């Protein structure tokens, strides 16, 4: 594959790239490019992790990127996920690997790393301390938004380690690209600053879009100085609000129920979560998008691009309910194989039942 095609595939995954020039140089000069993303294992998998993320990964792997998945078990422990029970957190990590398998990711081509391996390595902690010596407490507090926390002096002291640790992960993993969500940009930018100070290899940042929750746009919560980015992070789909999220275990009926209630004003395309799913999921997974309607309401429409869908919706030629029902059908097509895997595969089913029980009792 030529360098330009590789560049387009990798760049197509990112909503923000720091910097495009560095990414282009990377694909032109390096055959084996390594990228990573990390997850705190907790709760059940929803659309962003179980469907959207595997689609992004497909394009990265097509571009020949070697991908490292960091299961951040010790971060989840620090962040009090699943009541800080490391054994339960590890089980949840296994569950997420099973989700990606069911979504069609060839896990033989993904390097899975548990963060506990770093946690037990003295060399890792040397990096953490070196990084902490080279940024301020104020910088660390600002970066705490990466953990979904606002930097407050009332927080446990352990939270202060979080940004320096995640920054150290990048150098411990020895990656070329940080391919995380836009909500992680602060620590990735910190890593670039640290790399300059310590003369370490500077990572390229390819930040992917944060899918909006079904509730629509929310009031900004101070995650970023950039108002657009702040709104995107503040409005992202959250597992902690089940009715604002679609999960990989939801039945078709449940998907329809949730989408019918979703924020989707007629003719409004800005901050419309249903249209977002068309743009970021459906047109990444499929070549076209079909909306089925009775002849008296205009008959079926087949769209070859997101722009065509947006135009018709803005002009009132596409009704919100027709859009929602079409999106439900396509999401069901992507979710059904994952849902059935957890119904039929014994190991997957046991993990799912375990995570469900933890979610109910915590």
Question: What pLDDT, in 10s, does the model give residues 196-238?
Answer: 999 999 999 999 999 999 999 988 777 777 778 888 888 999 8
Q: What torsion, rounded to 10 degrees, do the Cα atoms 27, 29, 34, 37 define? A: -50
Checking if the pLDDT of 155 tops 90, the result is no
pLDDT computed for residue 360 by the predictor: 45
Query: Rounded CA gap, 63 and 27, in Å?
Result: 9
Fold topology of 239-361:
Tyrosyl-Transfer RNA Synthetase (1.10.240)
The residue that leads in pLDDT, 330 or 231, is 330
343 pLDDT band, cuts 50/70/90, is very high
Distant-in-sequence, close-in-space partners of 205: CB < 8 Å, separation ≥ 6:
16, 17, 18, 177, 178, 185, 188, 189, 192
Checking if the pLDDT of 183 tops 60, the result is yes
> What region, left, alpha or beta, does residue 316 occupy, with left being phi > 0 and alpha being psi -120 to 50 degrees?
left
Where does the chain have alpha helices with state H?
A: 3-11, 20-29, 47, 53-62, 73-78, 86-102, 116-119, 122-133, 137-143, 161-173, 185-198, 227-234, 252-261, 273-277, 283-285, 306-314, 320-344, 346-361
Residues 179, 203: contact at Cβ < 8 Å? Answer: no
Q: What burial class does residue 264 get, using C-beta atoms within 10 Å of its C-beta: 0-12 exposed, 13-18 middle, 19+ buried?
A: buried
> How far from 226 is each of 111, 180, 232, 235, 319, CA to CA, in Å?
33, 18, 10, 14, 33
The residue that leads in pLDDT, 283 or 154, is 283
The residue that leads in pLDDT, 9 or 223, is 9
361 pLDDT band, cuts 50/70/90, is very low
Domain 239-361 in the same topology as domain 3-207: no
pLDDT computed for residue 250 by the predictor: 97
Q: What burial class does residue 252 get, using C-beta atoms within 10 Å of its C-beta: 0-12 exposed, 13-18 middle, 19+ buried?
A: middle
User: ∠ CA(34), CA(37), CA(42), 5° rounding?
Assistant: 155
On average, the pLDDT of the chain sits at 92
pLDDT computed for residue 152 by the predictor: 65
Residues 229, 202: contact at Cβ < 8 Å? Answer: no
67 pLDDT band, cuts 50/70/90, is very high
DSSP class of residue 51 equals I
CA proximity to 169, closest of 93, 117, 118: 118
Q: Which CATH architecture has domain 3-207?
A: 3-Layer(aba) Sandwich (3.40)
pLDDT 10s digits, 287-323:
999 999 988 888 999 999 999 999 999 999 999 999 9
Per-residue pLDDT, averaged over 55-68, amounts to 95
Share of the chain above pLDDT 90, in %: 79
Checking if the pLDDT of 22 tops 90, the result is yes
Query: Rounded CA gap, 152 and 158, in Å?
Result: 12
Residues 306, 313: contact at Cβ < 8 Å? Answer: no
pLDDT computed for residue 233 by the predictor: 87
Per-residue pLDDT, averaged over 21-31, amounts to 95
Tokens describing residue 299: 């008959």
68 pLDDT band, cuts 50/70/90, is very high
DSSP string, 235-282: TB--TTSGGG--BTT--HHHHHHHHHHS---TT--TT-HHHHHIIIII
pLDDT computed for residue 199 by the predictor: 95
pLDDT computed for residue 150 by the predictor: 57
pLDDT 10s digits, 101-122:
999 999 989 999 999 999 999 9
Where does 63-159 have alpha helices with state H?
A: 73-78, 86-102, 116-119, 122-133, 137-143
Checking if the pLDDT of 362 tops 60, the result is no
Domain residues of the chain, as ranges? 3-207, 239-361
User: ∠ CA(258), CA(47), CA(42), 5° rounding?
Assistant: 110
Taking the whole predicted model, whether its pTM rises above 0.85 is answered as yes
Query: Rounded CA gap, 352 and 343, in Å?
Result: 9
pLDDT computed for residue 185 by the predictor: 92
Residues 95, 40: contact at Cβ < 8 Å? Answer: no
Per-residue pLDDT, averaged over 247-254, amounts to 97
pLDDT computed for residue 83 by the predictor: 86
358 pLDDT band, cuts 50/70/90, is confident
Checking if the pLDDT of 147 tops 80, the result is no
């Amino acid at each position: 594959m030529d360098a330009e095609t590789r560049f387009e595939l990798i760049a197509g995954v990112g909503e923000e790239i720091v910097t495009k020039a560095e990414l282009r140089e990377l694909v032109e000069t390096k055959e084996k490019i390594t990228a990573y993303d990390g997850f705190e294992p907790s709760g059940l998998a929803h659309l962003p992790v179980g469907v959207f993320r595997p689609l992004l990964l497909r394009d990265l792997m097509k571009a020949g990127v070697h991908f490292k998945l960091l299961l951040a078990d010790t971060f989840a422990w620090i962040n009090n996920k699943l009541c800080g029970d490391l054994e339960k957190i590890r089980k949840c990590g296994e569950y997420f690997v099973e989700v990606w398998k069911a979504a069609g990711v060839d896990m033989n081509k993904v390097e899975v790393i548990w963060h506990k391996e770093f946690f037990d390595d003295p060399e890792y902690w040397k990096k953490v301390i070196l990084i902490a010596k080279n940024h301020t407490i104020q910088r660390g507090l600002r970066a705490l938004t990466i953990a979904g926390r606002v930097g407050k002096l009332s927080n446990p002291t352990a939270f202060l380690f979080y940004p320096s640790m995640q920054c150290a992960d990048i150098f411990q993993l020895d990656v070329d690209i940080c391919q995380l969500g836009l909500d992680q940009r602060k620590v990735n930018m910190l890593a670039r600053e640290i790399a300059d100070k310590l003369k370490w290899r500077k990572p390229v940042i390819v930040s992917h879009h944060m899918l909006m929750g079904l509730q629509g746009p929310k009031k900004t919560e101070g995650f970023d100085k950039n108002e657009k980015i702040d709104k995107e992070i503040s409005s992202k789909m959250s597992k902690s609000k089940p009715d604002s999220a679609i999960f990989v275990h939801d039945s078709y009926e449940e998907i329809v129920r949730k989408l019918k209630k979703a924020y989707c004003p007629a003719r409004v395309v800005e901050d419309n979560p249903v249209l977002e799913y068309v743009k970021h999921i459906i047109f990444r997974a499929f070549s076209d998008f079909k909306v089925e309607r009775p002849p008296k309401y205009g008959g079926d429409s087949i769209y070859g691009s997101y722009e065509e869908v947006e135009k018709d919706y803005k002009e009132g030629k596409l009704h919100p309910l027709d859009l929602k029902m079409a999106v439900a059908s396509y999401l069901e097509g992507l979710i059904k194989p994952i849902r059935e895997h957890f119904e039929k595969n014994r190991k997957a089913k046991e993990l799912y039942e375990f995570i469900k029980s933890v979610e109910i009792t915590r």
